[in-house]
């Protein structure tokens, strides 16, 4: 069995590796510390499963997932993030992820998720299943303004709402200040708002931060 772990925090990678080796002592596990390295390693060989964080330098986990699925559509990928399911679970599943867990999940649940995915199934927690039912409703009143945003725009929205400046966001996402300003303008237009304060209030109200 081969497992690739992508996360920009070494402590997290080490913890995941310990949990997985306890369940699969003979597994060959490799690590990647950012999105660029993760995509490069993911494409170089076949993996039994890839476990990826979402917020990473270079490419985000969702960007890696989408690029990877273009080349290797059958590659199983479990997304593991600090973000609550209502923030990213649906986006990652739509992009082709085999499952979504938060980093608060118990070690046993991580192993259970890996077992499900290795058997060819998707791992859907009850909380994510409830979100899927809600999202698939035909009632437009259920739709949130932020659902019209692209994955990158959504990432920028969350960073704005958390109090980051344009220059700080540019550094975090490894993009230019001009590009971030363009994303901000698109977000405001799509969400029919005019200030960062409005975006922040919306994000807090909808538990996006």
**pTM over the 0.85 mark:** no
DSSP 8-state symbol, 103: T
Q: What is the mean predicted confidence (pLDDT) over 56-77? A: 91
Boundary of a domain, candidates 135, 167, 190? 135
Is residue 101 a contact partner of residue 128, using CB atoms and an 8 Å limit? Answer: no
Q: Which residue has the higher pLDDT, 4 or 201?
A: 4
Asked whether residue 38 falls in the same domain as residue 117, the answer is: yes
Asked whether residue 13 falls in the same domain as residue 113, the answer is: yes
State yes or no: pLDDT of 134 exceeds 80. Answer: no
Boundary of a domain, candidates 106, 135, 164? 135
Residue 160: which CATH number?
1.10.10.10
Asked whether residue 112 falls in the same domain as residue 149, the answer is: no
Q: What is the mean predicted confidence (pLDDT) over 183-192? A: 90
Q: What is the mean predicted confidence (pLDDT) over 175-182? A: 91
Q: 107: helix, coil or strand?
A: helix
Q: Give residue-wise pLDDT tens across range 22-44.
A: 999 999 999 999 999 999 999 99
Domain of 98? 2-135
Asked whether residue 128 falls in the same domain as residue 149, the answer is: no
The pLDDT value recorded for residue 9 is 93
Q: What is the mean predicted confidence (pLDDT) over 93-106? A: 90
Computed over every residue of the chain, the mean pLDDT equals: 88
Asked whether residue 12 falls in the same domain as residue 110, the answer is: yes
Q: What is the mean predicted confidence (pLDDT) over 100-109? A: 91
Asked whether residue 29 falls in the same domain as residue 79, the answer is: yes
Q: How far apart are CA 66 and CA 87, in angstroms?
A: 17
Asked whether residue 7 falls in the same domain as residue 81, the answer is: yes
């Amino acid at each position: 069995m081969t497992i690739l772990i992508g996360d920009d925090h070494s402590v997290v990678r080490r913890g995941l590796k310990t949990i997985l080796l306890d369940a699969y002592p003979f597994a060959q596990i490799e690590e990647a510390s950012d999105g660029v390295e993760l995509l490069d390693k993911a494409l170089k060989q076949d993996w039994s499963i890839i476990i990826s964080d979402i917020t990473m330098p270079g490419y985000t986990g969702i960007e890696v997932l989408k690029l990877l699925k273009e080349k290797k559509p059958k590659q199983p990928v479990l997304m593991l993030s600090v973000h609550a399911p209502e923030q990213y679970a649906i986006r990652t599943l739509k992009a082709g992820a085999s499952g979504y867990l938060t980093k608060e999940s118990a070690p046993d649940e991580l192993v259970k998720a890996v077992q499900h995915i290795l058997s060819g199934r998707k791992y859907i927690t009850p909380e994510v299943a409830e979100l899927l039912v809600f999202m698939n409703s035909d009632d437009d009143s259920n739709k949130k303004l932020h659902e019209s945003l692209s994955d990158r725009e959504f990432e920028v929205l969350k960073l704005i709402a958390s109090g980051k400046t344009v220059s700080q966001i540019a550094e975090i996402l490894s993009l230019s200040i001009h590009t971030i300003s363009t994303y901000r303008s698109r977000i405001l237009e799509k969400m029919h708002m005019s200030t960062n304060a409005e975006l922040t209030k919306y994000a807090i109200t909808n538990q996006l931060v």
